[in-house]
Amino acid sequence: MKEPGWSASAWAGQLALSCLLLLGVASADEAERRAAMIDEVVATQARYGDRPFTPETLAALGHTERHRFVPTEVRDAAYANRPLPIGHGQTISQPFIVALMTDLLRVGSGDRVLEVGTGSGYQAAVLAELDVTVFTLEIVEPLAVEARARLASLGYDRVTVRHGDGYYGWPGEGPFDAVIVTAAASYIPPPLVEQLRPGGRMVIPIGSRFHTQHLMLVEKSADGTPTVRQLLPVRFVPLTGGH
């Protein structure tokens, strides 16, 4: 005769169901936090920016699960509008800055973007949500390895991560429609300007570790002449490497 009570498979089923429910609650919670983060990003831009972020930029931020890009110890703060440590002395940028840099690039479907400073892979994922192909370089090998695995497991198959010094760009894959540098350089690396196509845009923080850095926008005209505009004071980790 069958024992009264639940069979092992019923228990397993119940357990699986509870886990699914828990996961559901967790991701609903995260979606809510993400929506609140976007409200804050929009409000910050309304205060300081000259125009609102595009709906595409905000949708890309809304689709990217920032909590999957930060270490578990700081996961509770994943949707706060501030930078967070990602190990190896590096940081993932504040969501507002990610939105701003993304928006400034004005990229869309089919574009090819070069990123210098993969870090966690979050900025690359946000760009990939705009249906662009991303080539991203990271100088700290364990970060490159981790970001590559993370992006692959999340299904970001249009992002290619390479370990290397981004100062020299990625000549084999250029020219790029846009270039984004997420570490502060003391001057604009000439190889990156070279690898930007005419009509393309680059955003890059310029300045030293102990002085004010500024976010710069480089626009390359149709005839290949670059013009540089200083946008706002920012704070980034330094661009390292042997140059």
- Which residues belong to the active site? 93
- Cβ proximity to ligand SAH, 166 vs 207, nearer residue: 166
- Residue 191 interacts with ligand SAH (CB under 6 A): yes or no: no
Exactly one of 119, 169, 174, 205 binds ligand SAH (CB under 6 A); that residue is 119
Q: How far apart are alpha carbons 84 and 76 in whole angstroms?
A: 11
- Cβ proximity to ligand SAH, 70 vs 218, nearer residue: 70
Choices 132-140, 191-199, 212-220, 222-230; region in contact with ligand SAH by CB under 6 A: 132-140
Residue 116, strand partner residues: 137, 181
Q: Taking CA 159 as the corner, what is the angle to CA 158 and CA 160, rounded to the nearest 5 degrees?
A: 120
| DSSP single-letter state for residue 73 | G
Q: How far is the CB of 126 from ligand SAH (least distance, A)?
A: 8
What track of x and - describes contact with ligand SAH for positions 223 through 242 (by CB under 6 A)? --------------x-xxx-
* Sheet containing 213-220: order of strands: 159-163, 133-138, 112-116, 176-181, 196-206, 213-220, 226-234
- Residue 184 interacts with ligand SAH (CB under 6 A): yes or no: no
Residue 218, strand partner residues: 202, 228
- Residue 135 interacts with ligand SAH (CB under 6 A): yes or no: no
Residue 196, strand partner residues: 176
Tokens of 130: 């705009």
Q: Are the C-beta atoms of 124 and 102 separated by less than 8 Å?
A: no
- Residue 96 interacts with ligand SAH (CB under 6 A): yes or no: no
Residues found near ligand SAH in the complex (CB under 6 A):
86, 90-93, 116-117, 119-120, 122-123, 137-140, 143, 165-167, 182-183, 237, 239-241
